[in-house]
Amino acid sequence: MPRYEVTIEKDACDGIFACLTRDPRFVEGEDGLATIDPSADPIYDCEGEVTDTAERVVAKFDDDRIDEAKQAAAACPTDAIIVEEVGK
C-alpha cells in the first residue's frame, strides 16, 4: 500500500468544508477551519500521524484510501489541500 501525506494549508482554507463530504477523516477544527482526525471516521478503524501547527495540518497515512483524500483535495475550492504519495 502507498504511504501518502495530506496537507491542509490553513492560510488558504476558508472553512467551506467541501472536503468533509468526500472523506470523513476531514473535520471542522476548533479554529473553524478544516483539519484531519483519523478517528472521526465511523466506518473504518483508521490510524494516521497528524501534526497541526499554526500554518498547516499534515497527516501521514499508509492505507488504501488515497483516492478519498484526493477527492477531498479536488473538492476544495481554494486548493488548500495537497495529497502526495511519499513512499510504499
pLDDT digits (tens, 9 = 90+) for 23-81: 999 999 999 999 999 988 877 777 789 999 999 999 999 988 999 999 999 999 999 99
Q: What angle do CA 20, 22, 25 make, to 5 degrees?
A: 55
Spell out the alpha helix ranges (H) of the chain.
Answer: 66-75
* Domain ranges, residue 15: 3-87
Q: How many domains does the chain have?
A: 1
Residue 19 pLDDT: 97
- Per the CB < 8 A criterion, the answer to whether 50 and 57 are in contact is yes
73, 31, 79, 70: which is closest to 54 by C-alpha?
Answer: 31
CATH number of 69's domain: 3.30.70.20
